[in-house]
Structure 1
Amino acid sequence: MHNFSSSEIDFQKGEGLVPVIVQDVNTQAVLMLGYMNQAAVAQTLAEKRVTFFSRSKNRLWTKGETSGNFFELIDLQLDCDQDTLLALVLPKGPACHKGTGTCFGTENKGAFVPYLEKVIQDRRDNPNDASYTSSLFKKGINKVAQKVGEEAVELVIEAKDDNKDLFLNEAADLMYHYLVLLAAKGYSWEEVMAILRERHQ
């Protein structure tokens, strides 16, 4: 995950604290800026969830501890001066306490897939009779896999024509059913992204 030792971090410049830039690993959007002390770095690495040192509360503070909007840690990087950290994360909801995707008043446009995945997983874990997604899970893995196959064929058929609207709608249907299949198998979008990132290196 990280390629440095905690002892390499220069905490002295900031009187025991270093700034931490938090970035969405998938969208590259900068979500927020926080601070860490040695204990926050250790807890973040141990729990794989970003923990800051709150200057106002004078204590460790795990992002999402009250809202559930955690930052799942993918990687932690140290800058060339060894006094600033970059946390690459998978956000589990809005980054800002005001409900926006970032703390800079902007939305994290690419974060919809993880959000949709969370909704799908909720439909799996808390079935709702009125939910199409819940009905798919109820029918079992064979039906879910069959739907992915059907949507893939429909997308291929639309690819041969020049109707943008129909093609994109079939692409969305395939993506949705693909996420349902991942959830039915107990896997996550991030696990797929991790393989793609590894292949890209």
Structure 2
Amino acid sequence: MLKKHDLLNLDWTKTNGMIPVIIQDYSSSEVLMHGYMNQDALTKTQENGLVTFYSRTKNCLWTKGEISGNYLKVIEISTDCDNDTLLILVAAQGKTCHLGNSSCFISNKYNINFLFKLEEIIEERKNEFSDDSYTSSLYKSGTSRIAQKVGEEAIETILAAMNKDQIELINEASDLIYHLVVLLHDQDLNFNLVIDNLKKRREKNLNTNSEKLLK
């Protein structure tokens, strides 16, 4: 019987039976950690949907989170162009790093996933009200007030652009995006869904243009 991992066409010989694996958060795109898998580890990962590595120091399989509870739920597994490295997109359950950080890699260049971090904070303020939190006060005021703030910030963003005030435009655009995210979470949505929708629109547009070129 053909094993699931055989479908990935991995070059186990080239890597001496040990494939390097990069773990990336599917929502924020943050690289969480790096590890190694042998064929048994990959098979177990595919069977139970939780990332399982091979420990080169203990010479055994270990499922990430089996002690801490911070599991890595598999969303997608893919290979690189040489079929000797795996990229696994995951939904992280808790903090990935044993030091209590979301990632084992430390970097100050986090613009790509900052919006995701902001959403985490906003969701916390939504569910855990704080008297000294502006975000909590918005949720207390209700959907109508939140939507009104989005409209107000949109107008102020337009005015800043019309006045060609770049600094003010950055400030107002920041306020607009913040309040928009608050509104999305008020409706139990998130910005990642908006990005997915934009991707689908682009793919549809590309397919439409391709069909036109073939006519």
TM-score, L = length of structure 2: 0.71
| Equivalent residue runs for 1:27-38 within 5 Å | 30-36=31-37, 37=41, 38=43
Q: Indicate the residue corresponding to 1:40 in structure 2.
A: 45
Are residue 134 (structure 1) and residue 151 (structure 2) matched? no
Q: Is 101-110 or 158-167 further displaced after alignment? A: 101-110
Kept in 2, the 8 Å contact 1:23–1:86? The answer is yes
Instruction: State the Cα distance separating 1:125 from its structure 2 match.
Output: 0.7
Kept in 2, the 8 Å contact 1:40–1:60? The answer is no
| Equivalent residue runs for 1:1-201 within 5 Å | 5-9=4-8, 10=10, 12-13=12-13, 17-23=18-24, 30-36=31-37, 37=41, 38-44=43-49, 51-55=51-55, 56=57, 58-62=60-64, 66=68, 75-88=76-89, 96-98=97-99, 103-109=104-110, 110-201=112-203
Instruction: Report sequence identity in percent.
Output: 35
Kept in 2, the 8 Å contact 1:92–1:114? The answer is no
Kept in 1, the 8 Å contact 2:33–2:96? The answer is yes
Higher CA-based Rg: 2
Pairwise CA RMSD of aligned residues? 3.3
Aligned pairs, number: 191
Give CA-to-partner distance per residue, 1:111-163, whole Å, 9 cap, x none. Answer: 21111101100111111122111111111111111111111111011011232
CA distance in structure 2 between the aligned counterparts of 1:175 and 1:39, rounded to whole angstroms = 41
Secondary structure of 1:159's match? helix
Quickly say closer, same or farther: Cα 1:122–1:104, change in 2 above 3 A: closer
Give CA-to-partner distance per residue, 1:69-111, whole Å, 9 cap, x none. Answer: x766554312344442112457688764446675444235122
Secondary structure of 2:23's match? strand
CA distance in structure 2 between the aligned counterparts of 1:107 and 1:52, rounded to whole angstroms = 29
CA distance in structure 2 between the aligned counterparts of 1:105 and 1:138, rounded to whole angstroms = 36
Structure 1 stretches lacking a partner, 5+ long:
45-49
CA distance in structure 1 between the aligned counterparts of 2:175 and 2:93, rounded to whole angstroms = 23
- The amino acid across from 1:79 in the alignment is D
Instruction: State the Cα distance separating 1:64 from its structure 2 match.
Output: 10
Secondary structure of 2:131's match? coil
Kept in 1, the 8 Å contact 2:52–2:62? The answer is yes
Secondary structure of 1:190's match? helix
CA distance in structure 2 between the aligned counterparts of 1:152 and 1:92, rounded to whole angstroms = 35
Quickly say closer, same or farther: Cα 1:179–1:139, change in 2 above 3 A: same
Secondary structure of 1:35's match? strand
Kept in 1, the 8 Å contact 2:69–2:93? The answer is no
CA distance in structure 2 between the aligned counterparts of 1:64 and 1:169, rounded to whole angstroms = 44
Structure 2 stretches lacking a partner, 5+ long:
204-215
